[in-house]
């Protein structure tokens, strides 16, 4: 029997004429932090929402704790949410402005531990606030009285109060000041080490993903284009798109790489994401931005292929880069 906590198979999401996800496959082990990177519009949030049952996929399967989530009733899904939580990008808008933050954090306790009395609940909330680096007295404040970083700590406290087995973080620091981002990332890292939950950490910022993740998925145009252990991905990326992302790493967390400041692709590599459903179904979706494209790239979609143990890439030329280390320099 597999030890995967989460298994996503052939997940495909369509919005009208646009395919946001195209046959996504991956597994996430208990306690593992999996980074998910890709530029804006590549399908990261759609993947998070589809796992949580907030978007209905056209095709595919999401298995969590050996349960097929797409077949769950809303009651069953509510039970699953005890173990499957999310931290959103915008901390303020993810909290109810009229609800004391202590009550927001306590909400999952009311649902999942109804026998708990008010005093015990308040103690659990106070302990959780302290665990995320805030004073227990913060429970009596409203969201608008708090800073962005404090609001995100509240969002994390609410997500963590039931000790979930999987925490999905969808760009949890992108809306925060750069000075606060590192603190929140380190808080998530501490919580992950203490609680041992798995994390799906979504970001367009590879520096942060490198800091946190055991393994990284790179997504482009709704497809996974590279998967590797974090160290391997950063030291020897195989997909030309991953190279573009690496060249754009902002110089935080001590990165020596050149950066453009916003974590996006550098000038010269800029291009549009594949849009029309047909284009990306005929050839490699990255071919118009790829300086290594050859004839086959225009007429055949490169399958995600294991090039080395645990290192997968969807590029017709991935074996060229692997057999000629250093040849792939953009
Ligand atoms: N509810 C929606 N309706 C229509 N299109 C959507 C919807 N949500 C996302 N999309 C489209 O799907 C694609 C992927 O979006 P998203 O998952 O938000 O990307 P990311 O989180 O990587 O920026 C984009 O082209 C986006 O415009
Ligand atoms: S398949 Fe071709 S176009 Fe696509 S990334 Fe590889 S070399 Fe570039
Ligand atoms: Mg998003």
Pocket test for ligand 1, best of 19, 38, 46, 217 (most atoms within 8 A of CB): 46
Nearest atom, ligand 2, residue 291 CA: 8
- Domain of residue 140: give its range: 94-160
* One domain, residues 226 and 286: yes
Pocket test for ligand 2, best of 226, 245, 271, 286 (most atoms within 8 A of CB): 286
For the segment 269-287, what is each residue's pLDDT rounded down to a tens digit? 444 555 544 566 789 999 9
* One domain, residues 141 and 187: no
Q: What is the mean pLDDT of residues 4-33?
A: 97
In this predicted structure, the answer to whether residue 330 has a pLDDT above a threshold of 80 is: no
pLDDT for 274 equals 56
How far away, in angstroms, is 15 Cα from ligand 1 center?
8
Which one is predicted more confidently, 16 or 254? 16
Strands (DSSP E) contained in 105-222 are 166-170, 198-203, 215-220
* One domain, residues 192 and 152: no
**Calpha distance 295→287 (Å, rounded):** 10
Residue whose C-alpha is closest to residue 214's, from 43, 47, 27: 27
Which ligand ends up closest to the CA of 37? 1
Q: Please report, to the nearest 10 degrees, the dihedral formed by the alpha carbons of residues 32, 193, 43, 152 taken in order.
A: 170
For the segment 230-248, what is each residue's pLDDT rounded down to a tens digit? 999 999 999 999 999 998 7
Nearest atom, ligand 1, residue 48 CA: 17
Count of structural domains within the chain? 2
* One domain, residues 129 and 105: yes
pLDDT for 264 equals 36
Residue whose C-alpha is closest to residue 237's, from 307, 163, 137: 307
* One domain, residues 26 and 104: no
Give the CATH number, domain containing residue 234.
3.40.50.300
* One domain, residues 292 and 206: yes
In this predicted structure, the answer to whether residue 259 has a pLDDT above a threshold of 50 is: no
Q: Which residues of 25-40 are buried (b: 16+ CB within 10 A; e: fewer)?
A: ebbbeebbbbbbbbbe
**Calpha distance 41→18 (Å, rounded):** 11
* One domain, residues 79 and 103: no
In this predicted structure, the answer to whether residue 86 has a pLDDT above a threshold of 50 is: yes
- Lookup: tokens for 7: 């298994």
How far away, in angstroms, is 40 Cα from ligand 1 center?
9
In this predicted structure, the answer to whether residue 329 has a pLDDT above a threshold of 80 is: no
**Calpha distance 250→12 (Å, rounded):** 31
Q: Which residue has the tokens 């103690």?
A: 123
Q: Is residue 22 part of a domain?
A: yes
Q: Is residue 88 part of a domain?
A: no
In this predicted structure, the answer to whether residue 90 has a pLDDT above a threshold of 70 is: yes
* One domain, residues 302 and 191: yes
* One domain, residues 200 and 304: yes
Q: Please state the pTM of the whole predicted model.
A: 0.91
pLDDT for 252 equals 43
**Calpha distance 15→104 (Å, rounded):** 32
**Calpha distance 247→264 (Å, rounded):** 9
Q: Is residue 57 within 6 Å of ligand 1 at its C-beta?
A: no
CB distance 274 to 268 below 8 Å: no
Q: Is residue 45 within 6 Å of ligand 1 at its C-beta?
A: yes
| Residue identifier of the C-alpha nearest atom 6 of ligand 2 | 315
């Amino acid at each position: 029997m597999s030890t995967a906590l989460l298994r996503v198979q052939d997940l495909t999401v369509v919005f009208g004429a646009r395919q946001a996800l195209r046959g996504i496959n991956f597994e996430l082990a208990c306690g593992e932090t999996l980074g998910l990177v890709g530029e804006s519009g590549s399908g990261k949030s759609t993947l998070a929402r589809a796992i949580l049952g907030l978007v209905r996929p056209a095709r595919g399967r999401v298995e969590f704790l050996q349960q097929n989530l797409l077949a769950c009733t809303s009651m069953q899904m509510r039970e699953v949410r005890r173990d499957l939580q999310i931290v959103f990008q915008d901390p303020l808008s993810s909290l109810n402005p009229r609800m004391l933050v202590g009550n927001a954090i306590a909400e999952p306790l009311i649902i999942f531990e109804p026998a708990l009395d008010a005093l015990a609940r308040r103690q659990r909330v106070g302990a959780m606030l302290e665990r995320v680096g805030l004073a227990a007295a913060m429970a009596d404040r409203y969201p608008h009285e708090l800073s962005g970083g404090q609001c995100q700590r509240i969002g994390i406290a609410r997500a963590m109060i039931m000790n979930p087995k999987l925490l999905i973080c969808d760009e949890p620091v992108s809306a925060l000041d750069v000075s606060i981002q590192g603190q929140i990332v380190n808080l998530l890292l501490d919580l992950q080490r203490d609680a041992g939950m798995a994390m799906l950490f979504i970001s367009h910022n590879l520096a942060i993903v490198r800091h946190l993740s055991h393994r990284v998925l790179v997504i482009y145009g709704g497809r996974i284009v590279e998967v590797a252990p974090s160290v391997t991905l950063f030291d020897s990326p195989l997909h030309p798109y991953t190279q573009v992302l690496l060249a754009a790493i902002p110089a935080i967390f001590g990165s020596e790489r050149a950066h453009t400041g916003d974590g996006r692709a550098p000038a010269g590599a800029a291009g549009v994401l594949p849009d029309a459903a047909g284009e990306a179904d005929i050839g490699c979706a990255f071919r118009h931005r790829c300086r290594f494209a050859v004839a086959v790239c225009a007429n055949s979609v490169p399958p995600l292929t294991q090039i080395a143990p645990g290192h997968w890439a969807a590029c017709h030329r991935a074996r060229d880069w692997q057999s000629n280390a250093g040849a792939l320099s953009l």
